[in-house]
Amino acid sequence: MSLKHVILGLLHECPLTGYDLRQRIASAGIWSADQAQIYRTLAGLTKAKMVTRHTVVQTDRPSQHPHEITDAGREEFQRWLASPPEMSSGPRDPFDLHLWFGGLCPLPTTRRTLAERRSELQEIEAELTAEEWPRGTDPQAALRYAARARRLVHIRTELSWLDATDALLARFDQPTTPESSGRSALGPESSTH
């Protein structure tokens, strides 16, 4: 995973300058990049013909240089979005980006990504619980046990979240009926009182 996929995803919406990209990345809170990283990545994407750069001359301000995604950029982004995200527990988790941009691909692809994540987490959970870890009588053994227990808490919390998210997305698979037309897709039935 790299910054290029974040940029390609944001350029799906509309052409953006490097400054605009920096603002959107910062406001989304799903990735971090400084201006130099963004411009280096844009230069590489331009060279690879995944984006094009235009100049917009302004009379009262400096010229702007918006970047626009090309068909090759769209293909690369869709290829990345359809591939399973790398497992990470750090602040830059590619899985978060797959969710953020999940609406740009078919719903079954996003639900498959959730299922693959669940499967990976269940395998790790099984490995962590397969053997009995002694709590030990020394601090090192106790800390190793605590680290394993912490990892299990995070995994089980995410598994619960995955179930809830999949149930939320399952609502969008259901055809709209007259009885459900008064309900919000994301919340309980609205009250008219």
Given 49, 65, 82, the domain boundary residue is 82
| C-alpha to C-alpha distance for 167 and 193, rounded to whole angstroms | 28
DSSP E strand stretches across the chain: 51-53, 67-69
Helix-helix angle 35-47:18-28, to 10 degrees: 120
Determine contact, residues 33/25, Cβ cutoff 8 Å: yes
Comparing 14-18, 61-65, 108-112, 189-193, the range with the smallest average pLDDT is 189-193
Indicate whether 125 belongs to any domain.
yes
98 Cβ partners below 8 Å, 6+ apart?
A: 81, 85, 110, 113
Whether residue 112 is found in the same domain as residue 76: no
Condensed to tens digits (0 to 9), the pLDDT of residues 29-78 reads 667 788 899 999 999 999 999 999 998 888 888 888 999 999 999 999 99
Which domain range does residue 39 map to? 3-82
pLDDT tens for each residue of 131-159:
676 666 788 777 778 878 888 899 999 99
Evaluate if pTM is beyond 0.85: no
Joined together, the tokens standing for residue 36 give 């130099």
CATH code for the domain of 61: 1.10.10.10
User: What domain count does the chain have?
Assistant: 2
- 111/77 same-domain check: no
Residue 76 falls within a domain, yes or no? yes
The answer to whether 21 touches 38, Cβ cutoff 8 Å, is yes
Give the model's pLDDT for residue 174: 65
